[in-house]
Structure formats: structure tokens, C-alpha cells
Amino acid sequence: MLKQSKRSNIPTFLALEGLVKARALEADGADIIHLEIGQPSSAAPAMVTQALIEAVGENDTHGYSVSLGVPELRDAIADHYKRSYDYDCGRGDVAVTVGSSTAFALSFMAAFDVGDKVALPTPGYPAYRNLMMAMGIEPVALPARSSEGWMPSLAEMDSWDELPDGLIIASPHNPTGVVLSDEELKEICDWCEARGVRLISDEIYHGLSYGKPTSTAAHHSKSAIIISGFSKYFSMTGWRLGWMLMPEDLAGPIQQLTENLYISAPTPNQMGAIKAFEAHDELNENIKRYEANRQILLEGLLPEFLGDYAPCDGAFYLYADISAISDDSLQLADELLHQAGVAVTSGVDFDVAQGHKHLRLSFAGSTSDMHEAVTRINRFVVEKCHLKSTA
Ligand SMILES: Cc1ncc(COP(=O)(O)O)c(C=O)c1O
């Protein structure tokens, strides 16, 4: 037996595993509605695709870009902060990454050592925890409870024997859809600054909120790492482009790590992405679809299935409380896939301790899929719970 690293012994990313299972059933002829994955069904903006085609046609794209990204794209990202948030930054603050996913890996490597502790509001995005475990960083769950509006509690961290070295927050939040107000964000930034805790602010779902504005932590903290990207609002998931605003002390380390990890993000995709910030008219049509999809799920799904669901104010997820139906969301997700043809993700992905009571449904897909999902899920719930059909 050859040696395998202990660090690679991390939990499975269940949402992605669910996608693999659903695709396998589809290959055997099943008709599956995909609510398991946080991926817009809409295409990248037309002007972005056109810019990529032109750049490739001019053969301007065959080589590496500089590691921190194509300068024009870094300028466009800095301009976006000025226009969207009235926040001043420049090319030198911006690093373009391969999805926001590598921005997390780079941030963890730049900011933390083996054995450091990082607090994670829980439920939360599983890759933070899994990646940290692979790097020997200790993720510490910071419960975000339904009874407290799913908000992470700073007072709770103050009560711990030891303060964490870092804190990751995401607003809008995956899977709960909680959107922090600017005041709440400032309070978190101030708490971290006062205690020397490195804040990582995941802002990948910015632009996707329903009645609540999304603010950036950049306004309130000079030491925070701000992470965002093109996968969600910009509908460019497969382009694998993200970015970060680097605090001054980490810009050098992040550049060196990037050079050694992947050299540069794909150059053609970066050339296309320069145009993304001009595509708001097209992109805002997608938000209307998410808003309609959200309503279809909230108004259409049976209360037994929705339970005490999370706010759903931003991102494109509904975190349903299925405890009236089952105490095993992994099994329920499996039954929904095989018996109803609807792929969803168990809450265990986001919260190992409490996630068995929850399922996450993504409403990033098409509106017709949402209608069909409601019909299938309700039929399944009626049969499973012997309810009188409301259909
Ligand atoms: C909270 C959160 N952060 C980051 C990511 C990673 O996105 P990407 O690597 O596509 O930018 C996701 C993907 O679903 C997410 O939900």
C-alpha cells in the first residue's frame, strides 16, 4: 500500500456529489430537476462572450497573463468598486483568481499557519471548512441559529477560551440567504480589527438580493480580505474567474503564492471578463428570474416541507427545515432524487451537527423548472406523509 496524505482525508462536498449522482441517473434516461447546485442556468453575458471571441481571434490570449491578472481586468474590477460601492481602490489592490475558490486557498495560505483556528458561521459553505482541514488549519464552528435570525454571534466568540485567528463571513450567505446590513458588517469588521482577528469577507453573492442592499467589508476594514467573483451574479460559473481585494500586508505573499500555485488565471477568459461590468442590463434580467423563482418555491411548497425556513433575502438558495417530515436530510435528499426526480442538497453539507434537519434548494435555474419542482416535491411530501393533497 503506498502512502496517502492524511490531509486529503476530508469530507465530501455533497452538493457536487449530488450533481454526479443526478447526472448518472440522467445518463440512464431519468428526467431530473436540478436544485442541488448553485449555478445560474443563464449564459454568460453576450458582450463578454463576444470580447473573448475577439481576443482569441486577435491571438492576444495564448500566453500566461501576469500572475495577479490582466491589468485591464484589474482596472475594471477596481472601477466596479468605485461605481457600485463608492469605494476607492486601484489595480494594485486586486488579484484575479481561478474562481473565488482559489482566492480562499490563497488567503488561507497567506494569512494562517498550521494549527491556527478560524471561526466559520455554521451552517456555511463546506469548502471553507474542508480546505482548511486539508491545510492543517482548524475550522471552529460558530453556530448561526434560526432563533437568532441565523446571525453569527460576536458575543459568543468573546465567550470562548481562545479567540480565533480568523473569521470568515459571507453576505449574502450560502445556504441561509442572510444579508448583513452595512451596520452589522461594520460591527463585525470593528470586532475583528479590535482583536487582531483576520476577517475574510466572501462577497461572491453580491448583486443577488431581494430588497436588501449588499455592502462591502472593504469600507470598514483595511486588514480584511475581500473575495468575490464572476460565478454567480455575472453568470460565468464555468469561466472559473474570481478576484480578491488584498490587504496591503498580504499583497506580496498572495502574489508569490499565486505564481507558484497556478501562475495565472486563464487569459482568454480574463479578456472576456473585462466587459462583464458593462452587462448590467442583461444580468439584471436574471435577478428578475431569481426573484420569481424564489416566490414560486416559497408560495408553492407545502408548509410541512418549508418548515422554519431561513430568510432567503439574498443569493439563490432556500434552506428548508424538513424536520416535520424527516430527521435525516441525507436520506430525504436521496428519496427526492430517486422517487421524485428532484436533486437537492442535504443540510449536512453545511452543518455537520444540525444539517440533518435541513435541505438546500437552489433557485438559480429556469422558472419552468421551479414550477415542476414544486409539483414533484409536493406530490412526494403528500405521499410520504399521507397528507391530503392540496393540489
Ligand atoms: C459561499 C460561496 N463562496 C464561494 C463559492 C465558490 O465559487 P467560485 O469558485 O465558482 O467563484 C461558492 C460556490 O458555490 C459559494 O457558495
Rounded to the nearest whole angstrom, what is the distance from the C-alpha of residue 348 to the centroid of ligand 1? 17
Q: Which atom of ligand 1 is nearest to the CA of 240?
A: 10
Pair 315, 172: CB distance under 8 Å: yes
> Could you tell me which residues come within 8 angstroms of residue 183 by beta carbon, excluding any fewer than 6 positions away?
none
Interval 317-343: pLDDT, tens = 999 999 999 999 999 999 999 999 999
Which residue among 204, 236, 360 is best mutated to probe the pocket of ligand 1, counting the most ligand atoms within 8 A of its Cβ?
204
| Single-letter amino acid code for the residue at 234 | F
Which residue among 36, 125, 171 is best mutated to probe the pocket of ligand 1, counting the most ligand atoms within 8 A of its Cβ?
125
The grid cell for 203 is 462577497
Which residue among 37, 174, 205 is best mutated to probe the pocket of ligand 1, counting the most ligand atoms within 8 A of its Cβ?
174
Nearest to 72 by CA among 279, 281, 277: 277
Nearest to 94 by CA among 304, 254, 203, 322: 254
Interval 202-215: pLDDT, tens = 999 999 999 999 99
Alpha carbon distance 360, 366 (integer Å): 17
Residues of the chain with CATH 3.40.640.10: 14-43+280-383, 46-278
Beta pairing class for 242-245 and 94-97: antiparallel
Helix (H, G, I), strand (E, B) or coil at 114: coil
- Dihedral class, residue 171 (left if φ above 0, else alpha if ψ from -120 to 50, else beta): beta
Rounded to the nearest whole angstrom, what is the distance from the C-alpha of residue 382 to the centroid of ligand 1? 34
Identify the architecture of domain 46-278 in CATH. 3-Layer(aba) Sandwich (3.40)
Q: Helix-strand-coil percent breakdown of the chain, rounded to 5?
A: 45, 15, 40
Q: Which atom of ligand 1 is nearest to the CA of 170?
A: 1
Rounded to the nearest whole angstrom, what is the distance from the C-alpha of residue 101 to the centroid of ligand 1? 6
Q: Where are the alpha helices (DSSP H) in the chain?
A: 14-27, 46-57, 71-85, 99-111, 126-134, 154-158, 182-195, 248-261, 267-273, 280-300, 303-306, 329-335, 367-385
Residues with CB under 6 A from ligand 1: 38, 99-101, 125, 170, 174, 202, 204, 229, 231, 237, 242
Rounded to the nearest whole angstrom, what is the distance from the C-alpha of residue 368 to the centroid of ligand 1? 25
Rounded to the nearest whole angstrom, what is the distance from the C-alpha of residue 389 to the centroid of ligand 1? 38
Return the pLDDT at 388. Answer: 60
Return the pLDDT at 389. Answer: 57
Q: Which atom of ligand 1 is nearest to the CA of 237?
A: 10
Pair 374, 299: CB distance under 8 Å: no
Return the pLDDT at 74. Answer: 98
Nearest to 209 by CA among 233, 193, 189: 233
Q: Is the peptide bond before 175 cis (omega within 30 degrees of 0)?
A: yes
Q: At what angle do helices 99-111 and 248-261 cross, to 10 degrees?
A: 120
pTM of the predicted structure, to 2 decimals: 0.94
C-alpha triplet 306, 350, 326: angle, nearest 5°:
40
Alpha carbon distance 51, 315 (integer Å): 27
Residue pointed to by grid coordinates 480589527: 193
* CATH fold group of domain 14-43+280-383: Aspartate Aminotransferase; domain 2 (3.40.640)
Pair 365, 381: CB distance under 8 Å: no
Helix (H, G, I), strand (E, B) or coil at 213: coil
Return the pLDDT at 391. Answer: 47
Q: Which parts of the chain sit beneath pLDDT 70?
A: 388-391
Q: Whose CA is nearest to atom 13 of ligand 1?
A: 38
Alpha carbon distance 184, 180 (integer Å): 6
Rounded to the nearest whole angstrom, what is the distance from the C-alpha of residue 314 to the centroid of ligand 1? 14
Alpha carbon distance 371, 297 (integer Å): 8
Q: Which atom of ligand 1 is nearest to the CA of 315?
A: 16
Bridge partners of 226? Answer: 201, 245
